Amino acid sequence: MPKMTFIQPDGKRVEVDASNGLSVLEIAHKHGIDIEGACEGSLACSTCHVIIDPDWYGKLTAAKPDEEDMLDLAFGLTKTSRLGCQLIMSDALDGLVVSLPTATRNMM
């Protein structure tokens, strides 16, 4: 089973099992990682904003325009920001590392 690592705002690293076919948001919730996901993955908010480790960013599929629009609302946006609800785990992403921002902005 693939693994992924969440880096919490305090710097603590949490490695978890990451089932193929689940989104990063779903994986976080399954393991008690504190990502809000206010719209429950319907691409209507930016509360599942994560920052992708630069070594992994280029391995992801490109963000679609709807995701880019929602990312514009994210707190602490970076060049490697993505929405966790739009990142689907696969064997190709085994070892993925994402950081959680220090805050979120819930516009819902």
Which pLDDT does position 80 carry in this prediction?
A: 97
The CATH number of 3-99, from 1.10.150.110, 3.10.20.30, 3.10.580.10, 3.40.50.10890, is 3.10.20.30
Which pLDDT does position 104 carry in this prediction?
A: 66
Strand order in 81-83's β-sheet? 13-17, 3-7, 96-99, 49-52, 81-83
Read off the pLDDT band of 106 (50, 70, 90).
Answer: low
Question: What are the domain boundaries of the chain?
Answer: 3-99
Distance CA 88, CA 60 (A): 9
pTM score of the predicted model: 0.92
| Mean pLDDT confidence for 60-66 | 95
